[in-house]
Chain A
Amino acid sequence: MEALEQFRSETRTWLEENCPPSIRTPMPEGETPWGGRKASWTNPESKQWLDAMGGRGWTAPMWPSEYGGGGLTKDENKILQQELRRIKARPALLSFGIWMLGPALLEFANEEQKKEHLPKIVRGEIRWCQGYSEPGAGSDLADLQTKCEDKGDHYLVNGQKIWTSYADKADWIFALVRTDTSVKHAGISFLLFDMETPGVEARPISMISGASPFCETFFTDVKAKKENLVGELNKGWTIAKRLLQHERDMISGMGMGTGGGGAGLADMAKEYVGESNGQISDATIRDAVVRQKMDSHAFGLTLQRTNEESKAGQSMGAASSIFKYYGTELNKRRNELIIEVLGTQGLGWEGDSFSTEELSATRSWLRSKGNSIEGGTTEVQLNVISKRVLGLPD
């Protein structure tokens, strides 16, 4: 207990000295710290903050320190997160490497691979993208056809991925490739390579929200180093599935997002719809707001309970699928409600007739539709629950 208090006071002092002032303000669009070789830092303090946090391993607080992580215990990490919230610090780094790849590497990679890749993830030096989906392999991911041939001293990769988020901005890709065409799941391997390797091309695709964060990604005679195959040859599906769990946990966290959520949404409704006797004056909207708020409250308690259960060694089966399904549907409902509350002001596309918040409501409403598709659709999560938890027959 005393050691923890000591840790808190040291952390507080360090954060005071190292968290720059602009980092304690809400993050404007365009300052999202994704890191990587191609990062452009519009705010130099974002870079300074990343270097400070990454240097201590606090971008991945609980990863072992031998791989650049913070080496903190759960309790210490809890304190760190509390202290970060206390000063309203922005995240130092957003990273598929930290959310998805890192945990999979820690579990499945060999020592050299961990030493090579993990520290660069922690420090935000290398930005990763996820090469899973293909034009013919979406929900039926294991039907993927990107070919990977053993050419003695290297692998040769040919094929196409799609919906690869930030492929045009990423430095490296973790890709699922076919190393055996005679079997389905047991012919898949998990391969890492540099996006600058000759033969790799990423073409951005425009989304309904107007942004172009995902790409079609083509591989033409791409030579990948053999040492970058993770786990055993043809055993990549196990790694792929585990990584998906981490991805689903990350996405379901959005169910708790605060954009207009909680009290904010109620205040927004009072402002845009009107208020009488302290209540939102439109009874239908008021009921929708309270439902949203109660659902978030209940979902938050469920995340908390699962957390406590896993600490106590009990665990809910297929938890990540339950949360992915529930959290993303909740987030979509919230976004629908926000634009409903904003009325025509929530349907603007651009220009000075709308505030920044109003315009971003439109965009995030559209973006939220992807939540129940990316990382495995809602229907696929329901299939997983039916089969793995409820034991219903195929």
Chain B
Amino acid sequence: MGLVLTEEQMLLKDTAAQFFQEKLPVANLRKLRDEKDATGFDRSVWKEMANLGFAGVLVSETYGGTEFGPVGLGIVLEQAGRTIAATPLLSTVLLGTTALQLGGTQTQRQEFLPRITTGDLILALAVEEGPHHNPTQIATTATASGDNFVLNGSKTFVLDGHIANYLVVVARTSGEVNASEGLTLFLINSADTKGLEVTRTLMADNHNAANITFKDVEVPATAVLGSVDGGWDILEPVLDFGRIGIAAELLGLIQEAFDQTLTYLKERQQFGVPIGSFQALKHRMAEMFAELEVCRSVVLDALNALEDRRNDIPSLASLAKARLSEASQHFTNECLQMHGGVGMTDEYDIGLFMKRARVAAATFGNAGFHRNRYAQLQGF
């Protein structure tokens, strides 16, 4: 795989771009917000996306998927980022599918993958327990009791948690609270499980998240995804894929914020000239343009690393997530400033990009987390 899109991928990009512009423009997110929509995304559009094959991009044809692969999903997420579309792409198509493919038994895959592909099933990954990403700091316990496991503890910032049909829960079956060993993943039906309490949290970006508590939640041993105590072997690659996916989404977001700002700089007049003729603004735009090119290279190579199952995926995931987290903060701040007063209005989209950028930057590790991890991976 090279760093240039193939013809087929270009086609997918055009299809996805058109779809999001038409079916899920920024206005769609505003509507969900203003109407206080209980689901937090548009189910009928989601069904259409599934029909186009977007829900099954990672799923093999055996289970009805389209097998566009990681680069394909990255392309779709980038376009979703341009309109800040609220969809279960991340929670279900990326995280849920990947967890099932890495850890699922034949039976589990057979049960879930086809229904993910048709857009009928929503999954959510319950990992975080505090305000900062820390995937080994797991205090939620799962204790064996006969043929079953009993879960106690709580989770926060579970993406799409309040609408998920099934939760992929990371719990500790052994080991110290901050150890990567001793974690186990459970697939839990959120509809008929006693002791499970799910509370939707309303975030600044109007994308779905939830807090979840487990009080003596009893699940059968067949709910284990992967091996007991071996959850990290699934969780880490799932998180890395998630980090790269969010980086792809953020790439679309900063591209759109940049494009809108560029248009504005050519239209808005002050002192009798377009404000885009002022060098104080021009140079900042030119610097951001160069940064955009660098961001694009990083995201593409990270997606390629996934596609080719390269062994530098963790480094690339941290490289991409650190860079895009920081860039998206910088871009949205700068773009707002260059809009002047209208940038502060809810009517303009810039503020929405800024809010989504911050939430996405905090998801699965911010820039500092990933610089630290990159350094560790390089041995210093």
Find the B residue at minimum CB distance from A286: B375
Q: Which residue of chain B is the closest to A299 with respect to CB atoms?
A: B294
Interface flags for A113-149 (1: CB within 8 Å of B; 0: not) read 0000000000000000000000000000000000000
Report the minimal beta-carbon distance from B302 to chain A, rounded to whole angstroms. 9
Residue of B nearest to A330 (CB): B294
**Quick check: which of B162-170, B208-216, B237-245, B274-282 contacts chain A, the rest being far away?**
B274-282
Is there an interface contact between B290 and A266, defined as CB atoms closer than 8 Å? Answer: no
Q: Does A155 contact B (CB under 8 A)?
A: no
B2 contacts which chain A residues (CB < 8 A)? 308
- B310 / chain A contacts, CB cutoff of 8 Å: none
CB distance from A279 to the nearest CB of B (A): 6
Given contact pairs A298-B323, A386-B286, A390-B285, A289 touches B375 in the complex (Cβ within 8 A)? yes
User: Once bound together, how far apart are the Cα atoms of A385 and B376, in whole Å?
Assistant: 36
Chain B CB within 8 A of A394 CB: yes
A286 touches B380 (CB 8 A): yes
Number of interface residues of A (CB under 8 A): 42
Answer whether residue A211 sits at the interface, using C-beta atoms and an 8 A cutoff.
no
CB–CB B266/A391 < 8 A: yes
- With A305-B297, A392-B276, A392-B277 as contacts: A386 and B378 at CB distance below 8 Å: no
- B289 contacts A392, C-beta separation under 8 Å: no
User: Per a CB cutoff under 8 Å, which of A383, A390, A393 touches B289?
Assistant: A390
Which residue of chain A is the closest to B282 with respect to CB atoms?
Answer: A386
Q: Which of A286, A381, A391, A392 has the most CB of B within 10 A?
A: A392
Contact of B341 with A by CB under 8 A: no
Q: Does B4 contact A (CB under 8 A)?
A: yes
Q: Are A393 and B285 in contact (CB under 8 A)?
A: no
- From residue 369 to 394 of chain A, which have CB atoms closer than 8 A to chain B? 379, 381-383, 385-386, 389-394
**Interface presence of A30 (CB below 8 A):** no
B132 within 8 Å of A (CB atoms): no
Q: In the complex, what residues of A have CB within 8 A of residue B287's CB?
A: 325, 382
A301 to B319: give the CA distance in the assembly, Å: 11
Contact at B289–A309, with CB atoms within 8 Å?
A: no
Distance in angstroms from B322 CB to nearest chain A CB is 6
A218 on the B face (CB < 8 A) = no
Alpha-carbon distance between A370 and B90 when the two chains are bound, in angstroms? 46
Nearest B residue to A311 via CB reads: B4
Asked whether, in the complex, the Cβ of B282 is within 8 Å of the Cβ of A383, the reply is yes
Q: Specify which chain B residues have a CB less than 8 angstroms from the CB of A305 in the assembled complex.
A: 3-4, 296-297, 300-301
Cβ-defined contact, A266 with B371, below 8 A:
no
The answer on a CB contact under 8 Å between A298 and B380 is: no
A358 and B146 CA atoms in complex are apart in Å by 67
Q: A294-B371, A392-B277, A392-B285 are in contact. Are A309 and B319 (CB under 8 A)?
A: no
B204 within 8 A of A: no
The reply to whether B374 and A385 contact each other, CB–CB distance below 8 Å, is no
A280 and B375 alpha carbons, distance in the complex (Å): 10
Distance from A132 Cβ to chain B, minimum over Cβ atoms (Å): 23
Known: A302-B297, A308-B2, A382-B283. A266 touches B289 (CB 8 A): no
Residues of chain B contacted by A99 (CB below 8 angstroms): none
Candidates B266, B279, B371; contact of A290 at CB < 8 Å: B371
CB distance A301 to B375 under 8 Å? no
Query: Once the chains are docked, how many angstroms separate the CA of A314 from the CA of B277?
Result: 29
Determine the distance from Cα of A391 to Cα of B265 in the docked complex, in whole angstroms: 10
User: Contacts A289-B375, A294-B323, A294-B374 known; A393 to B4 CB distance under 8 Å?
Assistant: no
Please name all residues of chain B whose beta carbon is closer than 8 Å to the beta carbon of A291 when the two chains form the complex: 371
Q: Tell me if A326 is interfacial: C-beta within 8 Å of chain B.
A: yes
- Given the complex, which residues of A lie within 8 Å of B378, measured CB to CB? 263, 266, 290, 293
B interface, size bucket: 35 or more
Partner of B282, one of A280, A308, A382: A382
- Closest chain A CB from B189 CB (angstroms): 41
Interface of chain A residues 89 through 126 with chain B (CB within 8 A):
none
A394 touches B277 (CB 8 A): yes
Tell me whether B272 is interfacial, beta carbon within 8 Å: no
Given the known interface contacts A305-B3, A316-B293, A385-B290, the answer about A293 and B374 at a Cβ–Cβ threshold of 8 Å is: yes
Q: Which of A291-328 contact B (CB under 8 A)?
A: 291, 293-294, 297-299, 301-302, 304-305, 308-309, 312, 314, 316, 322, 325-326
Contact flags B361-380 to A (C-beta < 8 A → 1, else 0): 00000001001101110111
A269 interfacial by beta-carbon distance below 8 Å: yes
Which B residues are in CB contact (< 8 Å) with A382?
A: 282-283, 286-287
Q: Which residues of B contact A286 (CB under 8 A)?
A: 375, 380
Please indicate the chain A residues that have their CB under 8 angstroms from the CB of B372 in the complex: 287, 290
**How far is B378's CA from A392's CA once the two chains are assembled, in angstroms?**
41
The answer to whether B297 touches A290, judged by C-beta atoms less than 8 angstroms apart, is no
A278 within 8 A of B: yes
Nearest CB to that of A392 among chain B residues? B276
5 shortest interchain CB distances as A-B pairs? A266-B380, A385-B286, A305-B3, A386-B282, A301-B297
A binding-site residues for B, Cβ under 8 Å: 263, 266-267, 269-270, 278-280, 286-287, 289-291, 293-294, 297-299, 301-302, 304-305, 308-309, 312, 314, 316, 322, 325-326, 379, 381-383, 385-386, 389-394
- Residue pairs across A and B with Cβ atoms less than 8 A apart, 21 shown, are A263-B380, A266-B375, A279-B380, A286-B375, A287-B375, A293-B374, A293-B375, A298-B294, A298-B298, A298-B319, A308-B3, A309-B4, A314-B4, A382-B286, A383-B283, A385-B289, A390-B282, A390-B286, A392-B265, A393-B277, A394-B277
Extra inter-chain contacts (19) besides given A267-B380, A298-B294, A308-B3, CB under 8 Å: A266-B379, A278-B380, A289-B380, A290-B371, A290-B374, A290-B378, A290-B380, A301-B294, A302-B293, A305-B4, A305-B301, A382-B286, A383-B282, A383-B283, A386-B286, A389-B289, A392-B276, A392-B282, A394-B277
